Amino acid sequence: MSENRERILKLQEKMQELNIDMYLVPTADFHQSEYVGDYFKARKWLSGFSGSAGTLLVTDDQAYLWTDGRYFIQAAKELEDTGVTLMKMREPGVPTVDEFLEMNLVKGSCLACDGRVISVSQGKAYKKMMEDKEGRFYCQEDLLDGIWNDRPELSKEPAYLVDIKYVGTSREEKIEMVRRAMKKYEADVHILSSLDDIAWLLNIRGNDIIYNPVVLSYVIVKADEVTFYVQDGVVSDEIKNELEKAGVVLRPYFAIYEEVKTLAKDSKILLDEGVVNYTLFENLPEEVTTVNAMNPTKPAKAMKNAVEMENERIAHIKDARAMCRFIYWLKKTVPEGTVDEYNAAEKSREFREEDKDCLDLSFETICAYGSNAAMCHYAPSKEDCAKVESKGFFLIDSGGQYWQGTTDITRTIAVGPLSEEEKKHFTLVLKGNIRLAMAKFPYGVGGAHLDILARGALWDAGLDFNHGTGHGVGYLLNVHEGPQNINWNSGIRPGGMIPLEEGVLISDEPGLYLEGKYGIRCENLLMCKKAEKNDYAQFMNFEVVTLVPFEREAIIPELLGETELKWLNEYHKHVYEVVEPLLENKEEKEWLKEATAEIK
């Protein structure tokens, strides 16, 4: 019996003791973070599935794992011999988690989960579901306590401040902006629990989630004070003094759960029910009034100010130097037969870390050769990685955290001869990337409206990719940032209908994945900017801030339109002009000149 199966059996035994019929284990921490620290990786510990997104549901005799199209191949491999059934989200005939619960929970049954790892909106829905079934929703404890004996401790890495020269706006100004937003809702209390919003508000960063420079914490904003709930030892005396100058008072991390019980009964509380956890909400006095609305920090954080926009350009120039050096190294070294996916990932890290302003990577590097690249979020390990041969495609999706901002880039690189099919598919993906980058649109347009530009050439060929085209990117923060995105399916990704504002940094990353063969993705980051304003509208367009050449050897020029080819040649010319002076090696300079040469 596999270790994961044994763990699930132990959980099922505890469920039987408590008369629980189904137990939910989402991929979440107490803050609804996209990525979570080791303490919160209960779903991975139980099931063996290591992807960043998924929900495990354990019944009295079965277990089910829901994940999205990015992870179907990976999940099928990792769930072997665990007894866990893979539920492929959004595939025909596959119910959602909630639909499955509705169909299979009988009258008088009990659904359970740790109320701290689900949102208010989820908790309310599950509570109503069980009331309708005359059953019980039990969310008062984490059932893994006592089962997961070697569970990692909660991370409590030291926090650090971000200077105003990088972020352009002081914490005092940001706090005042939140208070103005509270007045619009006539709220006198705002509960903020999303870690990237807290980091942005207080101009503070940390290392409590790998690659995401955030601090495990909560914030309560009132008209006359701000309370910052954080673990002991995380905030130095120097930082504490700086925060106190802005009226920020420190309290222990878990103290918030008791202190919200003491809020005045006539309080009107602003909170985002999609983010604040259910246990925290349940601890509020019954008499208070709550207002469910998006945290005012979220759209403000997404719209980079002029200082941040200029710094992001600098960060991407730094990143371009590292990536160009990496691509040259890869092409030169692969024929020697010494390159595998793991040491390639480590080499890309080395090139980034040569820059003193690079603090870390922005996510786990995806280095995938051949068929491994068909697994959209595949990441190699030292023990399990493929050797890179002198043929076909190599895909690298990587990024860095710099003082000047966050980067995210994907390049699909020819490491040897390519088939005509590979070239055709690459060109169609690149065509989508270019079309989106060239977009000009009236203010009010959201990413869902633009998605066809990136997918159109693939759709015309009867092809598609099973992930979003674009996600927002934070400033020295999370590489995935809302509220906006580029995805035609606004029912699944509602941020696609939110207007793209000036200063939004968003990815442009169409792809194509053929299981067992290869994967292709071409990703740049785009900065949304105002174009001209006339009688029709305020028009918007994109500035491409990523400055790394696309693979010329994989392009079939005839498949690109005249304006697309013109755009590509101008882009490559700009890349050469900016990056060439930063390269010290003569051979690297010669490679870049060839890689950016005009395509006719």
Give the mean pLDDT of 3-28: 96
Which CATH number is 470's domain given?
3.90.230.10
Query: What residues pair up with 228 in beta bridges, in sequence order?
Result: 219, 250
Q: Ramachandran region of residue 303, left (φ > 0), alpha (ψ -120 to 50) or beta?
A: beta
Which residues, other chains included, contact 185 with Cβ-Cβ below 8 Å and sequence gap of 6+?
268, 270, 291, 293
| Same domain (yes/no): 204, 340 | no
E runs forming strands in 40-159 = 55-59, 63-67, 84-88, 110-112, 136-138
Backbone angles phi, psi at 471, to 5 degrees: -130, 150
Confidence of residue 111 (pLDDT cuts 50, 70, 90): very high
Residue 492 has pLDDT above 80, yes or no: no
| Same domain (yes/no): 189, 215 | yes
* pLDDT score, position 171: 98
Which stretch of 153-157, 381-385, 421-425, 591-595 has the lowest confidence by average pLDDT? 381-385
* pLDDT score, position 595: 98
| Same domain (yes/no): 368, 480 | yes
Reduced to 3 states (helix: H, G, I; strand: E, B; else coil), residue 3 is helix
Can you tell me the distance from the alpha carbon of 480 to that of 472, in angstroms, rounded to the nearest whole number? 6
Say if residue 141 is exposed, middle or buried (CB neighbours under 10 Å; 0-12, 13-18, 19+): middle
Stated as kind and residue range, the H or E segment containing 444 is: none
E runs forming strands in 27-83 = 55-59, 63-67
DSSP codes, 486-542: E-S-TTT-GGGGSBPPTT-EEEE--EEEETTTEEEE-BEEEEEEEEEE-SS-EEEEE
One-letter amino acid at 239 equals I
Sign of CA dihedral 567, 488, 464, 514: positive
Q: Beginning with the edge strand found earlier in the chain, give each strand of the sheet holding 405-406 in spatial order.
A: 358-361, 400-402, 405-406
Give the mean pLDDT of 385-405: 98
Question: Please, are residues 260 and 191 in contact by the beta-carbon 8 Å criterion?
Answer: yes
Give the mean pLDDT of 362-380: 93
* pLDDT score, position 489: 87
Sign of CA dihedral 376, 401, 231, 223: negative
Taking the CA atoms of residue 132, residue 135, residue 139 and residue 145 in that order, the dihedral angle to the nearest 10 degrees is -150
In tens, the pLDDT along 539-582 reads 999 999 999 999 999 999 999 999 999 999 999 999 999 999 99
Sign of CA dihedral 348, 349, 353, 358: positive
DSSP 475: S
Q: What is the pTM of this model?
A: 0.94
How many domains does the chain divide into? 3
Residue 347 has pLDDT above 90, yes or no: yes
Cβ neighbours, 10 Å, residue 146? 10
Residue 176 forms part of a structural domain: yes
Give the mean pLDDT of 50-78: 92
| Structure-token pair, residue 431 | 């065509």
Residue 154 forms part of a structural domain: no
| Same domain (yes/no): 523, 449 | yes
Confidence of residue 377 (pLDDT cuts 50, 70, 90): confident
Sign of CA dihedral 27, 31, 34, 38: negative
In tens, the pLDDT along 581-599 reads 999 899 999 999 999 999 9
Which residues, other chains included, contact 251 with Cβ-Cβ below 8 Å and sequence gap of 6+?
227, 228, 229, 230, 259
Residue 148 forms part of a structural domain: no
Backbone angles phi, psi at 230, to 5 degrees: -150, 155
In tens, the pLDDT along 294-321 reads 999 999 999 999 999 999 999 999 999 9
* pLDDT score, position 529: 98
Q: What angle do CA 272, 95, 35 make, to 5 degrees?
A: 45
Cβ neighbours, 10 Å, residue 149? 7
List the domain range (segments joined by +) for residue 208. 160-297
In tens, the pLDDT along 224-273 reads 999 999 999 999 999 999 999 999 999 999 999 999 999 999 999 999 99
Residue 434 has pLDDT above 70, yes or no: yes
Q: Among candidates 323, 336, 550, which has minimal Cα distance to 423? A: 550
| Same domain (yes/no): 335, 388 | yes
Which CATH number is 172's domain given?
3.40.350.10
For strands 248-252 and 226-230, give the pairing: parallel
Can you tell me the distance from the alpha carbon of 46 to that of 63, in angstroms, rounded to the nearest whole number? 10
| Same domain (yes/no): 357, 415 | yes
| Same domain (yes/no): 280, 311 | no
Residue 561 forms part of a structural domain: yes
Residue indicated by tokens 């002198």: 390
Give whole-number Cα distances, 140 to 63, 147, 600, in Å. 22, 17, 66
Residue 324 forms part of a structural domain: yes
Can you tell me the distance from the alpha carbon of 307 to that of 357, in angstroms, rounded to the nearest whole number? 17
| High-pLDDT (> 70) share of the chain, % | 99
Can you tell me the distance from the alpha carbon of 28 to that of 8, in angstroms, rounded to the nearest whole number? 19
Question: Domain boundary at 297, 322, 347, which?
Answer: 297
Residue 422 forms part of a structural domain: yes
Question: Domain boundary at 138, 168, 199, which?
Answer: 138
Cβ neighbours, 10 Å, residue 495? 21
Per-chain mean pLDDT for the chain: 96
Give whole-number Cα distances, 343 to 91, 338, 365, 545, 575, in Å. 35, 9, 11, 27, 27
Question: Please, are residues 555 and 589 in contact by the beta-carbon 8 Å criterion?
Answer: no
Stated as kind and residue range, the H or E segment containing 441 is: strand 440-442
> What's the per-residue H, E or C state across 155-194?
CCCCCEECCHHHHCCCHHHHHHHHHHHHHHCCCCEEEECC
Residue 147 forms part of a structural domain: no
| Same domain (yes/no): 24, 54 | yes
* pLDDT score, position 491: 64
| Same domain (yes/no): 259, 388 | no
Which residues, other chains included, contact 293 with Cβ-Cβ below 8 Å and sequence gap of 6+?
185, 270, 272
| Same domain (yes/no): 331, 233 | no
| High-pLDDT (> 90) share of the chain, % | 94
Residue 155 forms part of a structural domain: no
| Same domain (yes/no): 347, 469 | yes
Question: Domain boundary at 280, 297, 314, which?
Answer: 297
* pLDDT score, position 52: 86
Which spans in 438-469 are helix H?
447-460
| Same domain (yes/no): 286, 328 | no
Question: Please, are residues 193 and 31 in contact by the beta-carbon 8 Å criterion?
Answer: yes
> What's the per-residue H, E or C state across 387-427?
ECCCCCEEEEEECEEECCEECCEEEEEECCCCCHHHHHHHH
Q: Among candidates 301, 7, 38, 30, which has minimal Cα distance to 157? A: 38
